Structure 1
Amino acid sequence: MEVKRSKKIVLTSFCILNQNAVISGWERAEGAFSFVKKIIEKDIGIMQLPCPEVITKGMARGPLNYEDYDTPIHRKNCQESLMPTYRQIEEFIKEGYDIIGIIGVYNSPNCSITGKQGVFMEEFLSECRKREWEFPNIEVPDYTTESEFTMFISRLDKFLEGECKDCESK
């Protein structure tokens, strides 16, 4: 039986697929976020970006903010960890794959895309612009109510269908 590829890929912050990387007490899922099932059900491939916080500070780190990560060594670590990612994206684009967009984490000191952009996303998106890649984005909100999560899921559905260029989660 031959399987046909969807040729669709979404890029995700590391902790979307692995909440184990989040600092203790801040996790919002036991493993991966449950909404990842929606991506899989739509036959969309998932490309996990590296976790800059684990790379620079390790697993035993405490809560840190943007200023704590806005250092030359952390930015260098971000840039170096992303080199294989750029190569993979280049290959997918060259072969005609559709990079649907990026799923980030709102209010993260590294993976926030909108508002106060995180350090890691600054580095990643800056390089994407240099390569003339522009990807739609959506962020997992720092939701506290079920209705906020429901609104996020509604935006996620539109994002995965390519129906919004910027599905900000605020």
Structure 2
Amino acid sequence: TTATFKNLADIKLFKPTADADTILQLENIFSEYSLRYIDKDLAEILSNLITTDKKHSLDFDFNKIQSLTDSKSFGCGWSKVINGSWFKDLYSWGEGMYPAENLKAENILDWKDNIWHIEHEGFPPRNPINVKYYSWFDRYVASNSGGSHHAAMVVYQSVRDGLEYKREAVIKQLSIDPGTV
């Protein structure tokens, strides 16, 4: 009934940042492991709340990525590093970084250098990029093992200058199953 949902408009979710740990990861909250100590019938319902659809793309547009899973600067307050947790997405983080000799987005040589860094640090070209798409946030999150600052610069320069960087990716689309709610 309408009365049942009257307070839903007041619910505000934390806004995600470039740091994937700031995202409400319902797939983890409602995983079988997380639900192992609650009533089995309730666990069954909750474990089916999130649906997953996996697809493979040979030409995933890198600038769709808004958050990353790993960065030395996420949430830890390194004083000499622009912290990605401060920014709403990779584009904003790249835009907010101060240019340095080894990290800037001023010309095509910087573009190539940033691509080189992400391919050698966090996104090796021999492997597809693992991406989660959170439909309830309309947000793409890439799993990485490094190269986060350069990835932010690639996204920023790609959008700003109309450059393209496409990669093979495995995209896991996560959605809330309306039939379960």
Q: TM-score scaled to structure 1, two decimals?
A: 0.30
Which structure shows the higher helix fraction?
1
Q: TM-score scaled to structure 2, two decimals?
A: 0.29
Which structure shows the higher strand fraction?
2
Larger RCO, structures 1/2 (Cα 8 Å, 6+ apart) = 2
